[in-house]
């Protein structure tokens, strides 16, 4: 994995027109060996997949392998933490832990929608496990075979590019282009 700087990231964006800025960021991470793409048709396979270590930003896309796919969700994993003015360090957030998440989306491993990516919660202030039947927890259900999760790793460069502003940057690019958040994102 090559190091990457904030200057490289800002140059990639500033030298690219809006419709391609998102792709320019992804391409920079690919060039630096900090990109991974996860696509599995079953939850069990996805859980065993070789997820990148450390934190970063991930992009969930819907579509076939032949197309780039529609962005469904942009999120971060990990955050920098510091105590009493001491040096900051990552909190241990990892890409592989994202598949255990239950809101605002869920990589479903059991029930009616086992091996689906679900989003659009039908609950407010209630944990999904309490609701029970997964067919009623979410409004949208996409087979995992049609989902790709792209990982942009910041392992080892967290002080140069940390997850929160990278996530916000990608969301801002999306908003500038579409005047909306990705469908599974609920806020910026």
Q: For the segment 149-165, what is each residue's pLDDT rounded down to a tens digit?
A: 999 999 988 888 889 99
- Residue 72: other Cβ atoms inside 10 A: 22
Domains held by the chain: number = 1
Judge whether 162 lies within some domain. yes
Judge whether 183 lies within some domain. no
Judge whether 95 lies within some domain. yes
Q: What integer pLDDT is reported at residue 135 of this predicted model?
A: 59
Q: Which residue shows structure tokens 């605002």?
A: 104
For the chain, first and last CA: distance in Å?
A: 29
**Phi (first) and psi of residue 153, to 5 degrees:** -85, 135
What is the value of pTM for the model shown?
A: 0.87
- Residue 22: other Cβ atoms inside 10 A: 21
Q: What is the Cα–Cα distance from 80 to 92, expressed in whole angstroms?
A: 9
**Half-sphere exposure for 5 (CA within 13 Å, toward CB):** 3
Judge whether 167 lies within some domain. yes
- CB contact at 8 A, 99 and 81: no
> And the tokens for 68?
């780039």
Q: What integer pLDDT is reported at residue 130 of this predicted model?
A: 47
Q: What integer pLDDT is reported at residue 123 of this predicted model?
A: 64
Judge whether 1 lies within some domain. no
- CB contact at 8 A, 55 and 163: yes
Judge whether 62 lies within some domain. yes
pLDDT tens for residues 108-137? 988 889 999 999 887 665 555 544 555 577
Query: pLDDT exceeding 90 applies to what percent of the chain?
Result: 43
CA distances from 30 to 4, 97, 158 (A): 11, 22, 17
Residue 99's pLDDT band (cuts 50, 70, 90) = confident
Domain span holding position 167: 6-178
Judge whether 149 lies within some domain. yes
């Amino acid at each position: 994995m090559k190091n990457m700087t904030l200057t490289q990231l800002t140059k990639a964006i500033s030298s690219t027109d809006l419709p391609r800025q998102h792709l320019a960021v992804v391409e920079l991470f690919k060039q630096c060996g900090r990109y991974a793409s996860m696509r599995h048709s079953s939850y069990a396979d996805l859980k065993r997949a070789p997820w990148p270590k450390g934190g970063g930003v991930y992009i969930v896309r819907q579509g076939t392998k032949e197309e780039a796919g529609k962005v469904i969700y942009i999120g971060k994993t990990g955050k920098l933490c510091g105590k009493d003015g001491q040096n900051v360090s990552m909190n241990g957030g990892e890409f592989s832990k994202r598949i255990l998440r239950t809101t605002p989306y869920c990589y479903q491993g059991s029930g009616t929608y086992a091996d689906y990516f679900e989003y659009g919660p039908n609950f407010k202030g209630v944990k999904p496990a309490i609701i029970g039947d997964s067919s009623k927890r979410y409004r949208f259900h996409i087979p995992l075979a049609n989902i790709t999760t792209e990982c942009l790793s910041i392992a080892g460069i967290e002080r140069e590019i940390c997850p929160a502003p990278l996530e916000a940057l990608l969301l801002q690019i999306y908003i500038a282009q579409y005047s909306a958040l990705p469908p599974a994102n609920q806020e910026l």
